[in-house]
């Protein structure tokens, strides 16, 4: 078993779970400073074979595959950050797209075909997703800068009437990326499924919603809105809520994500499968801010009307297919997950207090 990006937030937690279950686990990670601070240590079980390597560098892949021939590869290595990808498109394309093709070319050189690839994809591939208005389902275009500047947050239906977002489902919702990061994640899906089909391998694609919890990097400014709100509330700082506070997200706890990835490993796909992994409960950004502030005794959050270009209005998913296909279901409620995250941050005050702020 090989986990790319396995020293990161999700990868290290998954490695622990796999080792506990008796799997032979290897990890390849470049230890990028945006994720791993200068003084941080790699938090992996001693049984894990760790390889420092860059997924975009062919010799690194060749060195790893000379030593191991993994039956499955969990592909987590990726550049993240929706806003960051708009100004660092080459970096995202290089790691997410070229890094994936380098993996496949290295497998060809090694004459090795894994039984399965498990790809951690993203809810971002849906873009604005599907909406419903007056009984009609439609796909709104990305929100323009002028639209956001005018405070027009929700898309209108084809007839100009109000619309409501529909939960995304890999089996029915069309992917329509609205930023470079999302486009590269969708490209990863296509590249892996094409190669696997030609080599009699299989792919499990797990489109993850907003993952949070203990183990997140607190020094990475692109680590997510939950960690940002937790760090600020812990310091009793007021929280600013963007747009009108009604941005919608599905926040899923790290343990539930690891359970889903583990389930995909344990039950390899026989055909390409795509499922959505979230809590199944949509939450507004204002609700998240208010809950976090209340847990810390911080001031009530303020809706400020600011916005980020490239951000989508609503992201929520249908987890029913995942519960059926993976025999998995989330166990963590948001408030319980926030408490666990805050307790973990309390044990690292020097990192939390110095961490910079944020992309969601």
Give catalytic residues, as residue numbers: 181
Picking from 82, 337, 85, 329, the residue whose alpha carbon sits closest to that of residue 226 is: 337
With vertex at residue 64, the alpha carbon angle to CA 262 and CA 29, rounded to the nearest 5 degrees, is 60
Q: Would strands 2-4 and 72-75 be described as parallel, antiparallel, or unpaired?
A: parallel
H/E segment holding residue 118: strand 116-122
| 50, 42 Cβ separation under 8 angstroms | yes
φ/ψ of 136, rounded to 5, equals -110, 135
Between CA 182 and CA 331 the distance in angstroms is 27
225-234 and 285-296 helices, crossing angle to 10°: 30
In the chain, what's the furthest Cα-to-Cα distance? 60
| 278, 206 Cβ separation under 8 angstroms | no
H-state helical runs in 25-164: 58-67, 82-87, 89-92, 99-110, 145-149
Picking from 191, 148, 129, the residue whose alpha carbon sits closest to that of residue 318 is: 129
Between CA 30 and CA 53 the distance in angstroms is 5
| 28, 2 Cβ separation under 8 angstroms | yes
| 97, 184 Cβ separation under 8 angstroms | yes
Picking from 291, 189, 184, 306, the residue whose alpha carbon sits closest to that of residue 247 is: 306
Picking from 249, 165, 155, the residue whose alpha carbon sits closest to that of residue 209 is: 249
φ/ψ of 272, rounded to 5, equals -55, 130
Picking from 45, 54, 49, the residue whose alpha carbon sits closest to that of residue 12 is: 45
Tell me how long the chain is.
Answer: 360
């Amino acid at each position: 078993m090989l986990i790319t990006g396995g020293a990161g937030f999700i990868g290290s937690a998954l490695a622990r779970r796999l080792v506990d279950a008796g799997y032979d686990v290897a990890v390849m990670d470049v230890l990028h400073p945006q994720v791993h601070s200068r003084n941080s240590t790699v938090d992996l079980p001693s049984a894990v074979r760790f390889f420092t390597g860059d997924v975009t560098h062919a010799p690194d892949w060749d060195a790893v595959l000379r030593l191991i021939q993994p039956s499955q590869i969990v592909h987590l290595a990726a550049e993240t950050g929706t806003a960051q990808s708009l100004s660092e498109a080459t970096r995202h394309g290089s790691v997410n797209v070229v890094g994936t093709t380098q993996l496949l070319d290295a497998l060809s050189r090694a004459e090795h075909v894994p039984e399965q690839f498990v790809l951690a994809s993203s809810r971002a591939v849906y873009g604005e997703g599907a909406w419903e208005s007056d009984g009609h389902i439609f796909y709104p275009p990305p929100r323009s800068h002028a639209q956001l500047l005018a405070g027009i947050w929700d898309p209108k239906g084809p007839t100009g009437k109000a619309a409501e977002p529909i939960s995304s489902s890999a089996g029915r919702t069309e992917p329509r990326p609205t930023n470079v990061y999302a486009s590269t994640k969708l490209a990863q899906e296509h590249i892996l499924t094409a190669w696997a089909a030609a080599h009699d391998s299989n792919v499990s694609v797990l489109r993850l919603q907003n993952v949070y919890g203990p183990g997140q990097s607190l020094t990475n400014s692109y680590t997510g809105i939950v960690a940002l709100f937790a760090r600020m509330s812990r310091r009793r700082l007021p929280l600013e809520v963007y747009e009108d506070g009604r941005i919608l997200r599905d926040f899923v706890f790290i343990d539930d994500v690891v359970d889903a990835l583990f389930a995909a490993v344990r039950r390899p796909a026989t055909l390409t499968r795509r499922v959505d992994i979230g809590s199944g409960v949509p939450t507004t950004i204002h609700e998240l801010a208010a809950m976090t502030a209340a847990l810390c005794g911080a001031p009530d959050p303020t809706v400020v009307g600011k916005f980020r270009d490239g951000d989508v209005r609503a992201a929520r998913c249908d987890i029913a297919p995942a519960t059926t296909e993976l025999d998995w279901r989330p166990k963590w409620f948001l408030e319980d997950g926030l408490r666990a995250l805050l307790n973990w941050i309390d044990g690292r005050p020097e990192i939390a207090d110095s961490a910079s702020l944020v992309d969601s």
